[in-house]
Amino acid sequence: MSMREQSPVSVGLFVTCLVDTMRPSVGFAAVRLLEAAGCAVSVPRQTCCGQPAFNSGDRATTRALAEQMITAFETFDYVVAPSGSCAGMIKTHYPELFVGEPDWMPRVERFCAKVFELVSFLADVRGVTHVAAAYEGTVTYHDSCSGLRELGIQAQPRQLLASVAGLTLAEMPDSDVCCGFGGTFCVKYPDVSNAIVEKKAANIVASGADTLLAGDLGCLMNMAGKLQREGRSIRVRHVAEVLAGIGDTPPIGQPRPSAAGLGEAGQGRKP
Amino acid sequence: MTSSSSDHSSRDVVFASVRRALGVNGAEAPRRQAVADRIAGHPEGVIPARAQLPADEQIALFKAMVEAAAATLVHLPDAAAVPGAVAAYLRARNLPMSILRGADPRLAGLPWQDEPALDVWIGPSDGRQLAGLSHAFAGIAESGTVVMLSGPDNPSTLNLLPDHHLVVVDARDVTGTYEEVWTRIRAAYGPGTLPRTVNWITGPSRSADIEQTLLLGAHGPRSLHVLLVGEMPAGEA
Amino acid sequence: MSVHITSPDFKANARKALADAPLQQALAKVGPGFIGKRAAAADKLPEFKALRDSARDIKNHTLAHLDLYLERFETKARAAGGHVHFAVDAAQARDIVLDICRQLGAKTVTKGKSMISEEIALNDHLEANGIEPVETDLGEYLIQIRGEGPSHIIAPAIHLNKEQVEADFRRVHADLPPERNLSEPTALLAEARGKLRERFLAADVGITGANFLVAETGTSIIVTNEGNGDLTQTLPKAHIVLASLEKLVPTLEDVSQLLRVLARSATGQEMSVYTTFSTGPRRADDLDGPGEYHVVILDNGRSGMLAGQFREMLRCIRCGACMNHCPVYHAVGGHAYGWVYPGPMGAVLTPSLIGIEKGRNLPNASTFCGRCEQVCPVRIPLPKLMRNWREKEFERHLTPATQRYGLAFWAFFARRGWLYRPATRAAMAVLALAGKARGRFSKLPLAGGWTQYREFPAPEGGTFQAQWAARTSAQKSAR
Ligand code: SF4
């Protein structure tokens, strides 16, 4: 790993509520990557950045969660999340919540300036150009919307993936088009969401890759769920898992090997 | 026809709502000044570098852009060659040797007698003519656009009704940008005044309304043919 | 035909659209047709981004001084011999148009494409009063003979395929020989051209919209590719322009900036074929052109938008790029939105014009993927404005109860970390255990919207925070 600077910086890891509850291994992958990049990682007590409330029009709840978030994390040099969506929520939208509050605004702006999405933090802030990881397979990368359009994350994950031993990147058509998740959108408008993720699944399959990666667990669960419903054997993982070299945990929506042995033997996993 | 009284009260309601929404009364001197200044100064915004070329390159760009817009173009040494070029155009397409034009003196003064087989009619179009000829006020290199001004010299119907629209553009009238055209029109008509119709035409009529298939000749001319005349004197771009 | 508002039925409309095979076939071409062309046009012009900023600033300046630019426009248009009418709402606008037509004894009017005309349902009103409106934009003509509303603001018939057009032409143009070949789009276009040419020449009044109104000169501008708008306004006795308040622009230079981004954003052209600047009626020595020139300026709720959070929406120049890039529009098409304005711009504008009660689904039916904002030539923050509607909806308790309670339930825990951690830990333990064998669920209580179409991945088990706490305390005790 190459780095611009060697002095350890303190990073507060905001794992996001989805990683916290659904897929802790992404959190551990983030810790491993951050530590390898010379960061001292802490995990303050946390819940959610407030995005579900924000996008549902509930400003009061959002505001309360933002305050909670800022208070918990503002003492670190950096705040890093393995999600473009949550990092984008904080970095680009928190200031909107405190407009006209001069007692809060400078504090919020200072805070937002040190919030980053994991992969772009590694590449852009820590100067990481390659990782010590191996992954046998052909992967395709989906650009999740908020990360791409709010934070400009596009080249960084591809650069780092290029350094993973054994990994081949096969781009899918329209990798920058929404997967149809959209937070609560996918349950409020299931039919429309399904039409969008169907197209995404077809593009993923068209790439010929055996693994799908992205930087946001919500999108990943949506795409994994669709691919699996279609009976596809494509493995779905958070990009951090592969970069951290822990690509041997069961992919999203797949059982642990022992359990698989009892149920659907060998499903979806290569040895 | 004059505006009815209900129009007047609607006018007041609309202005009152706009002013209420903006929190203004309309009499604020700085606002009035800002508006007056903008109209008087009509500042240019962002001008593409592409439109600010030396004379020869500007003509080359104009020709390229006209053709990119699916129009055709011939470059003639001088205006005297226009009647011959019109006749050649009609002959090449097996069209009747007949053309309708406006009274523009720049067209009237051409040696039409050199083409005795060509019938030249003068006036607006009623939709029965296959080919019409106009003189452009200007050409715009930036997008390959011709600028037509309405009036007895070049009736607007000539731009629209004939299947083939032939347009004479004097190379000295080719500008880089839209803004230069406005400057020339202001010089000709006075500030704040336009002829009834200024028509920018960029290529022949087209539609993509059926399955997004692009087809030429929707309602207006199927073909736009530009007769570019002469050269632009160096240093005039 | 007027468009009946079906926006409250967005969900049902969407389901119907998703099951409509010809529609899906047509929609599949929207993305490839528009997106690449816009990108190519934008890439070819290094100044495109700067022009978008310039376009935004011009519109912002105009809106902030709208009353004064309106005054100026009115004065200049009158000085050029035109008539300027103001309409507070749709009904007034319809009546103004009808009055003008009646005074001229009009029997037929030709029409250029005008979304304002659709908004005020003008055609129904004219027909009801014995005046025949003839749409002349090919796409508008197609939907008129089908009795439909537009499904796209710049390509109103984008939902149709050529077989449907052929069937409609055979039905409506019954005077033409039945054995004629209409299998190719060229033949269809030629037939429409012939049919409409007669109508252009016979019309008494021509009605167009306006892409812009220029205050400096009192000029209205239409931008078309077909030339139908020019024929509509040039041939009849009178030209009526329908424009909404926000079409104002200060100067000819300003409108030139906007024109540089309009066609590129809409169709990927450098410039549309016909950009026509009209100022007043036929002049004394003119040989053609309309004898009367009327501009009807419509408010219909827009002045209200000027005041609040939605002012930015009034920058819209109706290029259609936002819908061309919208995954939801691509999936369901324009009719599902249930009124005149579809896609992201409709999701913001429609509730402003018909009310949030009827329009509430539209700003909700977005994934906030942000592609619309990325391409909007006047940089309207469409997702933010949709979110503003969701906030209004929430404040006014219009959000559906299940959603509201779900959110409140979640918020209760999210705001109380000391409860959140044990609660999520327990819940995930249960889910993980239940999903252990397959690693996912095909059915899950309360998640029917998800599992109807997708598997739901089982959690790995044990929250990150719990595992992290265990790990750090183990490290501490080892030390
Ligand atoms: S909102 Fe923007 S992108 Fe959409 S139609 Fe209006 S100007 Fe075009």
Which phi and psi (to 5°) does residue B9 adopt? -70, -35
How far apart (Å, rounded) are the C-alpha atoms in residues C367 and A96? 20
The pLDDT score that the predictor gives to residue A268 is 36
Chain-centre distance of CA A139, in angstroms?
Answer: 16
User: Structural domains in chain A?
Assistant: 9-124 (3.40.50), 129-265 (3.40.50)
Our count of domains for chain B comes to 2
The pLDDT score that the predictor gives to residue A261 is 42
- Give the pairing of strands C212-214 and C219-224: antiparallel
Tokens of A168: 């081949």
Average pLDDT over residues C189-205: 94
**Nearest-neighbour CA in chain C from A35: distance (Å):** 15
Res C268 pLDDT > 60? yes
Tokens of C245: 């308040």
C167 to chain B, any CB pair closer than 8 A? The answer is no
Could you please report the per-residue DSSP string of C68-106?
A: HHHHHHHHHHHHTT-EEEEESSHHHHHHHHHHHHHHTT-
Determine the structural domain holding residue B9 and report its residue range.
5-41
How far apart (Å, rounded) are the C-alpha atoms in residues C154 and C446? 41
Q: Looking at residue B51, what DSSP letter applies?
A: G
User: Structural domains in chain C?
Assistant: 10-303 (3.40.50.10420), 416-478 (no CATH)
Instruction: From residue B66, give the alpha-carbon distance in Å to each of B169, B204, C360.
Output: 12, 10, 47
Which phi and psi (to 5°) does residue A221 adopt? -65, -40
Contact A150 C370 (CB under 8 A): yes
Average pLDDT over residues C151-163: 94
Question: Are A203 and A174 within 8 A, CB to CB?
Answer: yes
CA-closest candidate to residue A11, choices A22, A24, A27:
A27
- On whether both B28 and B118 belong to a single domain, the answer is no
The pLDDT score that the predictor gives to residue B147 is 98
How far apart (Å, rounded) are the C-alpha atoms in residues B215 and C209? 23
Res B6 pLDDT > 80? no
In this structure, what CATH number is given to the domain that contains residue B125? 3.40.50.10420
How far apart (Å, rounded) are the C-alpha atoms in residues A265 and A259? 9
- Rounded to the nearest 10 degrees, the angle between the axes of helix C48-64 and helix C66-79 is 90
**What's the pLDDT tens digit per position in C105-131?**
999 999 999 999 999 999 999 999 999
- Rounded to the nearest 10 degrees, the angle between the axes of helix C162-172 and helix C185-202 is 40
How far apart (Å, rounded) are the C-alpha atoms in residues B207 and C267? 11
For residue B236, is it within any domain?
Answer: no
Residue B148's contacts (CB-CB under 8 Å, 6 or more residues apart) are B134, B136, B137, B154, B156, B159, B167, B197, B198, B199, B200, B201
Contact C457 A68 (CB under 8 A): no
Atom 8, ligand 1: which residue's CA is nearest?
C319
- Tell me if ipTM is over 0.90: yes
Residue B166 CA to ligand 1 centre (angstroms): 35
Using 50, 70 and 90 to split pLDDT, how confident is the model at C4? confident
- On whether both B9 and B100 belong to a single domain, the answer is no
Residue C309 CA to ligand 1 centre (angstroms): 17
Task: Tell me which of B133 and B209 has the higher pLDDT.
Answer: B133
Q: Looking at residue A14, what DSSP letter applies?
A: -
> Biggest alpha carbon distance in chain B?
70
Residue C13's contacts (CB-CB under 8 Å, 6 or more residues apart) are C6, C332, C335, C336, C337, C338
- On whether both B195 and B114 belong to a single domain, the answer is yes
For residue B175, is it within any domain?
Answer: yes
Residue A196 CA to ligand 1 centre (angstroms): 22
- On whether both B36 and B57 belong to a single domain, the answer is no
Candidate from C257, C305, C311, C317 with most ligand 1 atoms within 8 A of CB, to mutate: C317
Q: pLDDT above 90 covers what percent of chain C?
A: 85
For residue B129, is it within any domain?
Answer: yes
The pLDDT score that the predictor gives to residue A145 is 96
Question: Are B227 and B85 within 8 A, CB to CB?
Answer: yes
For residue B98, is it within any domain?
Answer: yes
Instruction: From residue C325, give the alpha-carbon distance in Å to each of A176, A271, C30, C39, C345.
Output: 11, 41, 9, 11, 12
Contact C410 A190 (CB under 8 A): no
- On whether both B180 and B111 belong to a single domain, the answer is yes
Instruction: Name the residue type at position B21.
Output: A
SS3 A130: coil
Could you please report the per-residue DSSP string of A25-86?
A: HHHHHHHHHHHHTTEEEE-------SHHHHHTT-HHHHHHHHHHHHHHHTTSSEEEES-HHH
Residue C318 CA to ligand 1 centre (angstroms): 5
The pLDDT score that the predictor gives to residue B237 is 45
For residue B234, is it within any domain?
Answer: no
**Lowest-confidence region among A264-268, B36-40, B100-104:** A264-268
CB < 8 Å from A in window 413-442 of C? 413-415, 417, 420-421, 424, 427-428, 435-440, 442
The pLDDT score that the predictor gives to residue C449 is 85
Low-confidence ranges of chain A (pLDDT < 70): 1-7, 258-271
Rounded mean pLDDT of chain C? Answer: 94
Using 50, 70 and 90 to split pLDDT, how confident is the model at B234? low
For residue B235, is it within any domain?
Answer: no
Contact C142 B209 (CB under 8 A): yes
The pLDDT score that the predictor gives to residue B51 is 92
Which numbered atom of ligand 1 lies nearest the CA of C321? 3
How far apart (Å, rounded) are the C-alpha atoms in residues B71 and B51? 20
CA-closest candidate to residue A157, choices A177, A174, A175, A136:
A175
The pLDDT score that the predictor gives to residue C402 is 81
- On whether both B120 and B206 belong to a single domain, the answer is yes
The pLDDT score that the predictor gives to residue B235 is 55
CA A212, A215, A221, A226 dihedral sign is negative
Res C3 pLDDT > 60? no
Rounded mean pLDDT of chain B? Answer: 94
Place of tokens 């600077």: A5
Which residues in chain A are closer than 8 Å to C403, comparing Cβ atoms? Answer: 56, 184, 188
- On whether both B139 and B184 belong to a single domain, the answer is yes
Using 50, 70 and 90 to split pLDDT, how confident is the model at C409? confident
SS3 B146: strand
- On whether both B95 and B159 belong to a single domain, the answer is yes
- How big, in percent rounded to 5, are the helix, strand and coil portions of chain A? 50, 15, 40
Which residues in chain C are closer than 8 Å to A64, comparing Cβ atoms? Answer: 415
Chain-centre distance of CA A127, in angstroms?
Answer: 19
**Nearest-neighbour CA in chain C from A66: distance (Å):** 10
Atom 4, ligand 1: which residue's CA is nearest?
C322
The pLDDT score that the predictor gives to residue C406 is 83
Instruction: From residue C243, give the alpha-carbon distance in Å to each of B198, C97, C211, C346.
Output: 19, 12, 8, 17
Residue A64 CA to ligand 1 centre (angstroms): 34
CA B136, B137, B141, B143 dihedral sign is negative
**Nearest-neighbour CA in chain C from A103: distance (Å):** 22
For residue B237, is it within any domain?
Answer: no
How far apart (Å, rounded) are the C-alpha atoms in residues C472 and C219? 73
- Which segments within chain B are labelled E, that is strand? 72-76, 98-101, 119-122, 131-135, 138-140, 145-149, 164-170, 174-175, 197-201, 206-207, 215-216, 223-229
Cross-chain CB nearest to B205 (options C72, C226, C269): C226
Question: Are A47 and C420 within 8 A, CB to CB?
Answer: yes
Instruction: Name the residue type at position A104.
Output: W
Q: Which residues line ligand 1 (CB under 6 A)?
A: C 265, 316-322, 345, 376-378, 380
Chain-centre distance of CA C95, in angstroms?
Answer: 25
The pLDDT score that the predictor gives to residue C398 is 85
Average pLDDT over residues C466-472: 92
The pLDDT score that the predictor gives to residue A8 is 83
- On whether both B199 and B139 belong to a single domain, the answer is yes
The conformational region for residue C459 under phi > 0 = left, psi -120 to 50 = alpha, else beta, is beta
- On whether both B56 and B26 belong to a single domain, the answer is no
Do B and A touch, 3+ Cβ pairs within 8 Å? The answer is no
Helix ranges, A137-238 (H): 145-151, 155-162, 185-188, 190-207, 217-229
**Lowest-confidence region among C107-121, C381-395, C422-436:** C422-436
The pLDDT score that the predictor gives to residue B87 is 98
C321 to chain A, any CB pair closer than 8 A? The answer is no
- On whether both B130 and B14 belong to a single domain, the answer is no
- In chain B the first and final C-alpha atoms are separated, in Å, by 46
The conformational region for residue C86 under phi > 0 = left, psi -120 to 50 = alpha, else beta, is beta
Contact C217 B212 (CB under 8 A): no
Other C-beta atoms closer than 10 Å to the C-beta of B122 total 15
The pLDDT score that the predictor gives to residue A6 is 57
Res C251 pLDDT > 80? yes
For residue B196, is it within any domain?
Answer: yes
Q: pLDDT above 70 covers what percent of chain C?
A: 99
The pLDDT score that the predictor gives to residue A271 is 34
How far apart (Å, rounded) are the C-alpha atoms in residues C28 and C261? 25
Tokens of A265: 């033997």
Average pLDDT over residues C42-63: 98
Residue C334 CA to ligand 1 centre (angstroms): 15
**Nearest-neighbour CA in chain C from B112: distance (Å):** 23
Q: Looking at residue A249, what DSSP letter applies?
A: S
Other C-beta atoms closer than 10 Å to the C-beta of C194 total 11
Average pLDDT over residues C302-307: 96
The pLDDT score that the predictor gives to residue A262 is 42
How far apart (Å, rounded) are the C-alpha atoms in residues C7 and C335? 9
Other C-beta atoms closer than 10 Å to the C-beta of C28 total 12
Mutate to test the interface with C, among B13, B65, B196 (most CBs of C within 10 A): B196
Place of tokens 């570019």: B228
How far apart (Å, rounded) are the C-alpha atoms in residues B237 and B59? 9
What is the helix (H) or strand (E) element at residue C251, kind and residue range?
Answer: none
What is the helix (H) or strand (E) element at residue C288, kind and residue range?
Answer: none
Cross-chain CB nearest to C64 (options B22, B125, B157): B22
Place of tokens 């549902």: A56
Res B119 pLDDT > 50? yes
- Give the pairing of strands B138-140 and B145-149: antiparallel
Contact C468 A27 (CB under 8 A): yes
The pLDDT score that the predictor gives to residue C479 is 66
Question: Are C203 and C131 within 8 A, CB to CB?
Answer: no
- On whether both B25 and B129 belong to a single domain, the answer is no
